[in-house]
């Protein structure tokens, strides 16, 4: 046997195999997909990758850091472990009042917003309205307005020199200053609804578009008035949309800040977070408040979705 | 049941005339079939009878009583749709009891009516089922029971067999025809299927372009068409069929 023909070493299969063969099956299926299902998984991963990166960098990391700060012993460095901020949260009567204000005001404005949005969605879907496209544009416009601008608009309308205030004062023969409600609870209520109704409307219009109008007509022909038709036939069909709108709108109410900052009619959670940061940089307390806010909203959304068939993102 | 009169009814939607001077009489217990091509105005005529469209001109009378401007819920009209339009949030029994409930009928009587109707339609075992789990034929029977439960002045059927398979359609056609005759129901049966109308109806109105071209018994319409349109429409692919009077 020639030296050239003699085997120099035993062939190593793993060396000659493609590198991807060394990867775990699940990863290999993504790197070198062989089936259509594998290719589909790879497409899903590619489509979701930007969001996953964003969620990790701008969501999960800051949240974890915020939770860490809330139990830090030091203010400027996350060190040690202390639940003082949470004890402060539980015992501070001003913060308890802010929590209560946030909840009742959020629920009340959500209820009113849902009522107004349901009525509007009903009108938009059931009837041919003049200048409907313009109307829809105007109704959806506040979604893109910052809370501060919404508050400013309320002042322009309902403040001491507001258009509506002065018109009512002129008709009633009273002082505009006495009638102005912009910086009171009523003004804040209207400003909240102004921001929340379009959000509820977006979801409810989608639900209304899927309502079986023939079933509504059947109910009318069977003797149900329009109100009873709505209650027995329409409402069950839009229920998932209503619950979704409730979750979305209530979360919006809990998160409103700019409007409260300008109108200053009531101290709510977001305002208090800003306050504790602006006054003495109580960052552990602010972080604890943010953690409580996040956990509450997450639990509320998860429970809301668990017990309903509503389809709304977390 | 009642005698129904549509008196010179015209319905316009903007510049479009959907129904143009239509006059029809439906005798007590009669089944009138309204046939014609798509867009001829037959469904608008039905909706005008039900109260969902108010005529631009003309009148609708139930037993001589002018109901032209009455809302649908006060007309006591039973509606059966092609798309069934069952209340998916209710059981079959609740669907059937819905009309009587809206009319203030007592609970016991409602239950009795629903049980009787479901038995009559051969589906008593479906009473507690969710409508979503039923087949097309079963759903259409429930729709019919629901419409009949209010003991309507008139039963309006809007293409109720469209979408069903041919075999089921033939069977349902016979069953529903027998049932309506047995109950002596006054009915308006809208369909684009001339064979269906000829087999099930006592008389037929052929509509074209918003107008009634001819009204007569199926035999009259088939054997003596009043216009070339009627002749063409009823003679299209008509296989062997039995007229409602049973004569060959």
The tokens of B235 are what? 């003679």
Model pLDDT, residue B236 = 55
The whole-number average pLDDT for the span A22-38 is 85
Q: Which residues of B touch A232 (CB under 8 A)?
A: 87, 98
What are the chain A neighbours of B162 within 8 Å (beta carbons)? none
The shortest C-alpha distance from B239 to chain A (Å) reads 33
**Are A219 and B102 in contact (CB < 8 Å)?**
yes
pLDDT in tens, B74-110: 999 999 998 889 999 999 999 999 999 999 999 999 9
Residue with tokens 């359609």: B169
Helices (H), chain A: 13-16, 25-31, 36-54, 61-70, 84-91, 93-126, 132-140, 147-158, 163-172, 176-179, 185-209, 213-221, 226-229, 235-255, 258-263, 269-278, 283-306
User: What does the DSSP 8-state code read for residue A142?
Assistant: G
Across B160-183, average pLDDT:
81
- Across the interface, whether the CB atoms of A223 and B52 are under 8 A apart is answered no
Judging contacts by C-beta atoms under 8 Å, the chain B residues touching residue A231 are none
Q: Which residue on chain A is closest to B150 by alpha carbon?
A: A222
A272 pLDDT exceeds 90? yes
Q: Is the pLDDT of residue B243 over 50?
A: yes
Nearest CA in chain A to B148: A222
- Interface contact A225-B150, CB threshold 8 A: no
Per domain, the residue ranges of chain B are 1-76+182-248, 78-151
State yes or no: pLDDT of A121 exceeds 90: yes
Residue B164: the pLDDT is: 78
What would the mean pLDDT of A281-303 be, rounded to a whole number? 93
Q: Which of A14-23, A39-48, A175-184, B166-175 has the lowest mean pLDDT?
A: A14-23
Q: What is the ipTM of this complex?
A: 0.90
Residue A204: per-residue pLDDT: 94
pLDDT of residue B161: 84
Nearest CA in chain A to B156: A221
Question: pLDDT tens, A231-260?
Answer: 999 999 999 899 889 999 999 999 999 999
With a cut of 70, say whether residue A25 has pLDDT above it.
yes
Structure tokens given for B202: 């006592």
Chain B residue with the nearest C-alpha to that of A231: B89
CA-based nearest residue in chain A for residue B157: A218
Q: Domain A85-306 adopts which CATH fold?
A: MetI-like fold (1.10.3720)
> Which of residues B93 and A173 earns the better pLDDT score?
B93
The arithmetic mean of pLDDT across residues A38-55, rounded, is 92
Mean confidence (pLDDT) of chain A = 88
Inter-chain CB pairs, A–B, below 8 Å: 72
Partners of B98 on chain A (C-beta within 8 Å) are: 219, 222, 224, 232
Question: Which pLDDT belongs to residue B183?
Answer: 81
In chain B, which residue's Cα lies nearest the Cα of A237? Answer: B89
Pairwise CB contact (< 8 Å): B81 & A214: yes
Closest-approach residue (CA) in chain A for B158: A214
CB-CB: which of B73, B76, B85 is closest to A214?
Answer: B85
Share of chain B above pLDDT 70, in %: 94
Find the range with the poorest average confidence among A13-17, A307-311, B37-41, B113-117.
A13-17
Res A2 pLDDT > 80: no
Arithmetic mean of pLDDT over chain B: 89
- Residue A13: pLDDT band by 50, 70, 90 thresholds? very low
Q: Are B8 and B58 in contact (CB under 8 A)?
A: yes
Between A249 and B160, whose confidence is greater? A249
| Å between B26 CA and nearest CA of chain A | 19
If interface means Cβ-Cβ distance under 8 Å, which residues of chain B face chain A?
50-52, 71-79, 81, 83, 85-89, 98-99, 102-103, 143, 146-147, 149-150, 156
Compute the nearest-CA separation of B236 from chain A (Å).
31
Judge contact between B60 and B66, C-beta under 8 A: yes
**Cβ contact, residue pair A220, B71, below 8 Å:** yes
Do the chains contact at B81 and A228, CB–CB below 8 Å?
Answer: no
Q: A281 vs B244, which has greater pLDDT?
A: A281
User: Does position B240 have pLDDT exceeding 80, yes or no?
Assistant: no
The reply to whether residue A222 touches residue B98, judged by beta carbons under 8 angstroms, is yes
**What confidence score (pLDDT) does residue A16 get?**
54
* Lowest mean pLDDT, pick from A125-139, A192-206, B83-97: A125-139
For the cut 50, the answer to whether the pLDDT of residue A15 exceeds it is yes
Average pLDDT over residues A75-104: 92
Q: What is the pLDDT of residue B242?
A: 56
pLDDT at A31 over 80: yes
pLDDT at position A9:
46
Query: Which stretch of A199-213, A232-246, A285-299, B171-185 has the lowest confidence by average pLDDT?
Result: B171-185
What residues of chain A have any CB closer than 8 angstroms to a CB in chain B? Answer: 212, 214-215, 217-225, 228, 232-233, 236-237
B72 vs A contacts (CB less than 8 Å): 217, 220-221
Q: How far is B74 from chain A (nearest CA, A)?
A: 6
Alpha-carbon distances of B95 from A214, B90, B115, B212, rounded to whole Å: 14, 6, 12, 35
d(CA A3, CA B102): 102
Model confidence at A14: pLDDT above 80: no
Tens of pLDDT, residues B194-214: 888 888 899 999 999 999 999
Hey, of A210, A214, A221, which one would you mutate to test binding to chain B, going by the most B CBs within 10 A of its CB? A221
First to last CA, chain A: 73
Which residue is it, tokens 């809330």? A70
Note the pLDDT tens digit of each residue in B120-152.
888 999 999 999 999 888 999 999 999 999 999
DSSP string of B158-220, one letter each residue: ESTTTTS-HHHHHHHHHHHHHHHHHHT--EEEEES-HHHHHHH-SEEEEEETTEEEEEE-HHH
| CATH number, domain B1-76+182-248 | 3.40.50.300
Domain ranges of chain A: 85-306
Alpha carbon distance A167, A293 (integer Å): 41
Residue A1 has a pLDDT of: 42
Residue B238 has pLDDT above 50, yes or no: yes
């Amino acid at each position: 046997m020639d030296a050239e023909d003699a085997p120099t070493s035993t062939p190593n299969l793993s060396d000659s195999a493609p590198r991807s063969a060394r990867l775990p099956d699940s990863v290999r299926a993504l790197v070198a997909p062989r089936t259509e299902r594998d290719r589909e998984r790879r497409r899903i991963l590619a489509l979701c990758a930007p969001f996953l990166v964003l969620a990790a960098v701008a969501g999960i990391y800051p949240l974890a850091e915020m939770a860490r700060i809330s139990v830090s012993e030091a203010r400027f460095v996350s060190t040690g472990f202390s639940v003082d901020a949470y004890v402060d949260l539980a015992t501070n009567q001003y913060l308890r009042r802010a929590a209560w204000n946030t909840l009742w005001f959020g629920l009340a404005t959500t209820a009113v917003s849902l009522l107004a949005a349901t009525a509007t969605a009903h009108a938009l879907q059931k009837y041919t309205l003049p200048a409907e496209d313009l109307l829809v544009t105007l109704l959806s416009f506040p979604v893109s307005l910052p809370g501060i601008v919404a508050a400013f608009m309320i002042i322009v309308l309902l403040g001491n020199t507001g258009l509506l205030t002065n018109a009512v004062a002129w008709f009633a023969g009273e002082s505009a200053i006495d009638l102005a409600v912009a910086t009171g609870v009523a003004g804040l209520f209207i400003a909240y609804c102004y921001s929340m109704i379009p959000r509820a409307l977006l979801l409810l219009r989608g639900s209304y578009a899927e309502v079986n109008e023939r079933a509504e007509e059947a109910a009318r022909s069977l003797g149900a008035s329009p109100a009873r038709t709505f209650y027995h036939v329409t409402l069950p069909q839009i229920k998932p949309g209503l619950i979704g709108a409730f979750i979305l709108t209530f979360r919006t109410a809990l998160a409103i800040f700019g409007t409260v900052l300008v109108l200053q009619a009531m101290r709510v959670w977001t305002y208090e977070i800003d306050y504790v940061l602006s006054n003495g940089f109580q960052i552990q307390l602010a972080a604890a408040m943010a953690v409580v806010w996040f956990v509450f909203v997450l639990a509320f959304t998860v429970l809301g979705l668990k017990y309903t068939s509503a389809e709304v993102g977390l | 049941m009642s005698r129904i009169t549509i008196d010179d009814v015209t319905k316009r939607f903007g510049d479009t005339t959907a129904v143009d001077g239509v006059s029809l009489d439906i005798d007590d217990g009669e089944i009138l079939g309204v046939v014609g091509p798509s867009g001829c105005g037959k469904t608008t005529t039905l909706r005008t009878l039900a109260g969902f469209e108010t005529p631009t001109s003309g009148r609708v009378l139930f037993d001589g009583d002018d109901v032209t401007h009455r809302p649908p819920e006060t007309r006591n009209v039973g509606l059966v749709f092609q798309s069934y339009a069952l209340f998916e949030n209710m059981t079959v029994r609740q669907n059937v009891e819905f009309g009587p409930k809206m009319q203030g009928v007592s609970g016991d009587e409602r239950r009795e009516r629903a049980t009787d109707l479901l038995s009559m339609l051969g589906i008593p075992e479906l009473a507690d089922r969710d409508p979503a789990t039923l087949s097309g034929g079963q759903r259409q029977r429930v729709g019919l029971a629901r419409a009949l439960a209010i003991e309507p002045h008139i039963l309006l059927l809007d293409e109720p067999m469209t979408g069903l398979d041919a075999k089921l359609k033939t069977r349902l056609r016979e069953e529903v025809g027998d049932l309506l005759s047995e109950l002596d129901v006054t009915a308006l049966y809208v369909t684009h299927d001339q064979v269906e109308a000829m087999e099930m109806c006592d008389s037929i109105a052929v509509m074209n372009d918003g107008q009634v071209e001819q009204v007569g018994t199926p035999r009259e319409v088939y054997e003596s068409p009043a216009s070339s349109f009627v002749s063409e429409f009823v003679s299209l692919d008509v296989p062997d069929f039995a007229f409602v009077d049973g004569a060959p």
